[in-house]
Structure 1
Amino acid sequence: MSSANVHIYTDGAARGNPGPGGFGIVMEWVGKPYKKEFSQGYKHTTNNRMELLAVIEALRKLKNPGTQVIVFTDSKYVVDAVMKGWLFGWEKKNFKGKKNEDLWREFLKEFRKHQVEFKWIRGHNNHPQNERCDTLAVEASKKTRLLIDSGFVEN
């Protein structure tokens, strides 16, 4: 494993799927007592969109290009798409027939700015940062002022 400068923990949630949703992010700078949390809720979205948006928003917060990052997520959807190379095949085929094209395109922009590794962690398994992200995501989905997920399309 590379020596990462930043550990990012993310989780997404949707109540109803589709339904009200949110994401939670915990960012930790390795070797420093520096930690930040972020969350946001949306009126109508899906779990997969929130899982992916959490990673995008976390990567957007990194100010220095080339930052070494490990993203810890319980989303097989996100981890497998990147680590198994599916995403790059989808990109070559211009995302034909793929869901969440808008977010995958945004993800690729942010992903390519940094050195990003992914680590899958089992959800709801007493992993402190993952549990915190889950709490942040669920709480965000229950707020009264929710954003519109403009890229979400009902099938």
Structure 2
Amino acid sequence: MIELFTDGAASGNPGPGGYGVILRSGPHYKEISDGFRLTTNNRMELLAVCIGLEAIKKPGQNVTIYSDSKYVIDAIDKKWVFGWVKKGFEGKKNKDLWLRLLNSYRLHHIKLVWVKGHAGHPENERCDQLAVQASKGSNLKIDSVFEMENKKSSLI
């Protein structure tokens, strides 16, 4: 059984952002984080889950994902994202990350658990620290899909 804790953050929304991930299985523990120069909170929440699932080396694992993002949890639990796929994500944002998440999601047996953010949940608090710290880094990556989509919309 693998536990995956995730959080995303963006200052300004859009603005500098980051994600934090904790993977835990028995005695194994791993933290992952990274920051981006311009992104949104929802993109970082999604990317955190993507990165966490992609870090799992063997398919078919039992994975419990803990997230404080209703956007992520509800879209999957309530099966909205599967309807969005059928409709080509018409009118929906973050298609690239949803498709990326679904590629990894389908490889495992997933249970989703929503946790209240900033409520003292130790792993959620740590993921938040990782995400915020990453968003303030000096070597921020480019969220190219987000920046290209915003460049297009500002030209219209």
Q: How far apart, in 2, do the equivalents of 1:61 and 1:36 lie?
A: 10
Shift of 1:47: 0.0
SS at match of 2:24: strand
SS at match of 1:151: helix
Q: Which residue of 2 aligns with 1:137?
A: 131
1:16-53: CA deviation from partner (whole Å, max 9, x where unpaired): 00000000001110xx2211000000000000000000
SS at match of 2:12: coil
Q: TM-score under structure 2 normalisation?
A: 0.94
SS at match of 2:140: coil
SS at match of 1:136: helix
**Percent identity between the two aligned chains:** 54
Aligned partner of 1:60 among 30, 54, 59: 54
Runs of 4+ in 1 over 2 A off after TM superposition: none
- RMSD value, Cα: 0.7
Q: How far apart, in 2, do the equivalents of 1:33 and 1:67 lie?
A: 16
SS at match of 2:22: strand
Structure 1 unmatched ranges of 5 or more: none
Q: How far apart, in 1, do the equivalents of 2:145 and 2:44 lie?
A: 12
Q: How far apart, in 2, do the equivalents of 1:13 and 1:149 lie?
A: 14
Q: How far apart, in 2, do the equivalents of 1:151 and 1:83 lie?
A: 26
Whether 1:115 and 2:139 are equivalent positions in the alignment is no
Shift of 1:140: 0.1
Query: Normalized per residue, which structure has more helix?
Result: 2
Q: How far apart, in 2, do the equivalents of 1:33 and 1:66 lie?
A: 20
Aligned partner of 2:33 among 11, 18, 39: 39
1:2-26: CA deviation from partner (whole Å, max 9, x where unpaired): xxx1000000000000000000001
Q: Which residue of 1 aligns with 2:18?
A: 22
SS at match of 1:94: coil
Shift of 1:97: 1.2
SS at match of 2:30: strand
